[in-house]
Structure 1
Amino acid sequence: MIQTLPLALPAMLVDLHRIDLTALYSKGWGVQACDVAAAPNGDVYALYRVYRYFYGVADGEHAPATANFGYRIITRYSADGEVLASALCCSERPGETASAVVDGGDMTLCVLPNGTLAISSLADNTTLVTPDLSRVIATYDSKDHRPFKEFTPGDGFATAISVTPSGRLLCTVAEYGVWKYGSPITNLVGVADGALTATSKPVIEALASLDPEPARHSDVDVRAHVAHQGAPVGPANRPRPALTELVAGEDRLSGWHDSRLGRPVPLADDLFVVPVYARTFRSGSRGQPFVFALVNDHGEMTGRLHGMHESRDSPFTGFCFNLAADPHRRHAFHLNRYGLYAWNKAGMLRAKLDTETKTFKPLTHFTLTACSPAGDLLLVHNKQHLILRIPAPDDLTGLPAAVEEALRAYARQRTALKKQWAPVNWHWTQTSAPVHRL
């Protein structure tokens, strides 16, 4: 079923801070989508950020209309598209009660096999929240590791999590000293076969790495729950060859130094798509190498997703680095400024929806976030703050027709939502659903 869902701002938050919804984002405020995830029962969760920062305003300023603030908002939607609840967390407002959700960069969502919502962030911070968003049930905090400061290791889990059809957890893990930087950077891909609960966390078996020899990684950075060949991952025990070593000959400029690991997605229970992107330049990065590697659960790179040109199909334009996958039908998807791409399990490109055509040009305004367990593509409109749910066909040759119909339905459903919600500058305000503070 095609659906259009609003990224709603709680009315109490708009009133509390007297947010001027008519103001341009250049005035110092904004709403940014972070991630969307779907549960097997059809529920959808969206994570997004609202913030305001006025230059020259003191941190202690408390006037509602001028004080700086920032929140992460999580909203839950029913399978029918109704807003069921929202939650506020990770407040950036001075003096605000500390959030129970562990904050960090690149925050992502995952619905675990038991229905619990996992919120993960860099570096290896994972928070478990009840499905109704009413309370935090566990936190795994890796603690802040910075150069020239004493570091006491925490109890982290993963930087990002995805679930395979049988319930395995596909994880990324950060390490300290990657590419000689003095901060944790996502560097490992692994699989956990046990359950992540409030009382225990499973061992993540590392399958692949980015930097084969993190320069500043030491014994203090070794974590018991991240293993390789039966022992914790450390300087001398890690997956080799690294992905960057396997593809080093493809980059004349950097040898993949300063490359970065994207969020992997499961193409099957035992096969994963692991994206690797070469370094990003300030002057522009279109044409830089990237690889969507196929890695099995033995850590072997068995192939890649084929058919994209480094320049003509570059994900670096607009920094469109997300992948999504439907492991039940074994399809992988990627959306960037040049098109929507779809592959089969063998890595062969089966469809490209070219955004230079009139029909699919609207896709340039969307970001692909995930596939639902039912195989629906979940996209977010970057300016209109709407989620578009597109049922993908079993046969990828039918994808163009499915997306074309979804874009037409989006226009109709958006019009209906405007009559129902009366948004201001594409900002949607909800008053009926409960709002929790986590």
Structure 2
Amino acid sequence: MIQTLPLALPATLVDHHAIDLTALYSKGWGLSFVDAAGSPNGEVYTLTTLYRHMYRAADDEPGPKSADFGYRIITRYSAEGEVLASALFRTGGAEKGDSAVADGGDLGLCVLPDGVLAITATPDRTTIVAPDLSLVLAVYDSKDGRPYREFAPGEGDPFAGSISVTPSGRLLCTLAEYGVWRYGNLLTNLVGIADGPLTADSKPPIRALASLDPEPAHQGPVDLRPHATYQGSPIGMTNRPRPALTELAAGEDRLSGWERSSLGRPAALSDSLFVVPFFAETFRGGSRGQPFVFALVNDQGEMTGRLHGLHEWRDSPFTGFNFSLVADPYRGRAFHLNRYGLYAWDKAGVLRAKLDTETKPFKPLTHFTLGACAPNGDLLLVHAKQHLVLRVPTPDDLTALGDTVEEALRTYARQRTALKKQWGPVNWHWTHSTPLHRI
């Protein structure tokens, strides 16, 4: 079923801070989409960031109506598209002292096999939240704040920086390491698989499958991660999967190489086959044409192939930095959306559909980002300016994807008009009055 869902702000929060929804973002505030996740029961969760930075004179009275703030907002929708509840925590999370959530970089959402929600962040921070968003059930936090503070062995209790779920409930994870590409902080560098449930009482061990930088610099005993292993020993120092993905792809581009490349969030194509995206270095002056690989990696850590059919220049994800890739592991398909088109592959890596945004029917896709693939195969596309989520069912035959998306875009226009009459948004900002939890 095609649905259009508003990325709605809690009305109580808008009132509390007297947010001027008519103001331009250049005035010091903004709302942006971060991630989405679908649940097997048809529910959807979205994660957004809301912030405000205001100029105040020295003699201004402090108060919520003039305060600077930064929030992460999670919104829960029913299978029918109704807003059920929302939860918020301050950017900085537990470090701010008023939230239990372990915030960080590259935030993501994942619905675990038992239905609870996981909020992930780098470096290796995982927060488990009740499905109704009412409370935090557990926090697995690396507490590694380098280079801003010293880090002691055993100080944290980490899990993963991102999680995706396979059909049998395996957890496809990413992990951060110190010293990647000789930087003095922690960057995502490893892909691993965990067999076993992640709960409030226990976490499963992660077995590393692939690495990006084969030799991170300046590591010592403090960098060993007992919960993540390779060949039976803790990850860290010289122990990680080799050859690294960048070594396997070393012949792809002789000009730039793969140093300072970055690892994207992997997606499960099945229980034992995964897509691992990685991208060459980005440059300030433009990166279109830089190499990228959507590698196929099995659960034994072997790179068995890649997703084919994208041209480094004509189909570049570097334009607009649209790096998201999602997958439907139940039907073995992968999807990617960037400025130039929507792409779909089978699990053999064959490109089965490309919806070119230079053609009139699919030009509206340039305004959307790819948020997630729900467990039933629906794509969640997010309109960045109108703050709406378009839920698009995908056909069994990928050659019919164009007809399906074309109909979804026409339906989006009709449903958007109906939502405007029902919600009365201000400058494409939607507000709701359903329960708000502070976690």
Q: CA deviation at 1:420?
A: 0.6
Give the match for residue 434 of structure 1.
435
In the alignment, which of 328, 332, 335 is matched to residue 333 of structure 1?
335
Give the match for residue 133 of structure 2.
133
Does residue 227 (structure 1) correspond to residue 232 (structure 2)? The answer is no
In the alignment, which of 219, 222, 225 is matched to residue 217 of structure 1?
219
Cα distance in 1 for residues equivalent to 2:17 and 2:91: 13
SS at match of 1:360: helix
Give the match for residue 62 of structure 2.
62
Does residue 21 (structure 1) correspond to residue 21 (structure 2)? The answer is yes
Amino acid at match of 1:379: L
Does residue 270 (structure 1) correspond to residue 272 (structure 2)? The answer is yes
Distance change (3 Å), C-alpha of 1:306 and 1:12: same
In the alignment, which of 251, 254, 268 is matched to residue 252 of structure 1?
254
* Counterpart contact for 1:90–1:102, Cα < 8 Å: no
- Where does 1:281-292 land on structure 2 (aligned, <5 Å)? 281-292=283-294
* 1:223-274 deviation per Cα after TM superposition (whole angstroms, max 9, x unaligned): 1110111111122221000000000111223320000000000001000000
Cα distance in 1 for residues equivalent to 2:197 and 2:92: 32
* Counterpart contact for 1:164–1:327, Cα < 8 Å: yes
Amino acid at match of 1:12: T
What stretches of structure 1 move > 4 A for 4+ residues in a row? Answer: 55-58
Cα distance in 2 for residues equivalent to 1:415 and 1:275: 37
Amino acid at match of 1:241: P
Distance change (3 Å), C-alpha of 1:287 and 1:33: same
* 1:252-308 deviation per Cα after TM superposition (whole angstroms, max 9, x unaligned): 233200000000000010000000000000000000000000000000000000000
Q: Any unmatched runs of 5+ in structure 1?
A: none
In the alignment, which of 374, 377, 381 is matched to residue 376 of structure 2?
374
Does residue 365 (structure 1) correspond to residue 367 (structure 2)? The answer is yes
Amino acid at match of 1:326: D
SS at match of 2:382: strand
Cα distance in 2 for residues equivalent to 1:252 and 1:169: 35
Cα distance in 1 for residues equivalent to 2:320 and 2:55: 27
Amino acid at match of 1:327: P
Cα distance in 2 for residues equivalent to 1:16 and 1:92: 20
Structure-1-length-normalised TM-score: 0.97
Cα distance in 1 for residues equivalent to 2:72 and 2:240: 35
SS at match of 1:308: coil
Cα distance in 1 for residues equivalent to 2:123 and 2:41: 30
* Counterpart contact for 1:206–1:226, Cα < 8 Å: yes
Give the match for residue 101 of structure 2.
101
* Counterpart contact for 2:90–2:96, Cα < 8 Å: no
Cα distance in 2 for residues equivalent to 1:120 and 1:358: 38
Q: CA deviation at 1:417?
A: 0.5
Q: Give the RMSD, CA atoms, in angstroms.
A: 1.6
Q: CA deviation at 1:379?
A: 0.9
* Counterpart contact for 1:339–1:355, Cα < 8 Å: yes
Cα distance in 2 for residues equivalent to 1:114 and 1:4: 27
Amino acid at match of 2:114: N
* Counterpart contact for 1:57–1:68, Cα < 8 Å: no
Q: CA deviation at 1:64?
A: 3.3
Higher mean alpha-carbon deviation, 253-262 vs 302-311, is at 253-262
* Counterpart contact for 1:292–1:305, Cα < 8 Å: yes
Identity percentage of aligned residues: 72
Does residue 85 (structure 1) correspond to residue 82 (structure 2)? The answer is no
Cα distance in 2 for residues equivalent to 1:91 and 1:371: 26
Cα distance in 2 for residues equivalent to 1:354 and 1:175: 38
Amino acid at match of 2:393: P
* 1:90-111 deviation per Cα after TM superposition (whole angstroms, max 9, x unaligned): 2569x97511111101110000
Amino acid at match of 2:298: N
Distance change (3 Å), C-alpha of 1:33 and 1:57: farther
Q: CA deviation at 1:376?
A: 0.3
Give the match for residue 180 of structure 2.
178
SS at match of 1:410: helix
* Counterpart contact for 2:223–2:237, Cα < 8 Å: no
Higher mean alpha-carbon deviation, 227-236 vs 339-348, is at 227-236
Q: CA deviation at 1:57?
A: 6.6
SS at match of 1:420: helix
* 1:166-217 deviation per Cα after TM superposition (whole angstroms, max 9, x unaligned): 0000000000110011110000000000110111110110000000000022
* 1:373-407 deviation per Cα after TM superposition (whole angstroms, max 9, x unaligned): 10000111110111110000001001000000000
Cα distance in 2 for residues equivalent to 1:112 and 1:47: 16
Q: CA deviation at 1:16?
A: 0.6
Q: CA deviation at 1:63?
A: 3.1
Amino acid at match of 2:203: K
- Where does 1:103-122 land on structure 2 (aligned, <5 Å)? 103-122=103-122
**Between Structure 1 and Structure 2, how many residues are aligned?**
436
Does residue 298 (structure 1) correspond to residue 315 (structure 2)? The answer is no
Distance change (3 Å), C-alpha of 1:139 and 1:402: same
Q: CA deviation at 1:83?
A: 0.5
Give the match for residue 2 of structure 1.
2
Amino acid at match of 2:98: A
Give the match for residue 208 of structure 1.
210
Structure-2-length-normalised TM-score: 0.97
* Counterpart contact for 1:289–1:310, Cα < 8 Å: yes
Does residue 187 (structure 1) correspond to residue 219 (structure 2)? The answer is no
Cα distance in 2 for residues equivalent to 1:275 and 1:216: 26
Distance change (3 Å), C-alpha of 1:64 and 1:237: closer
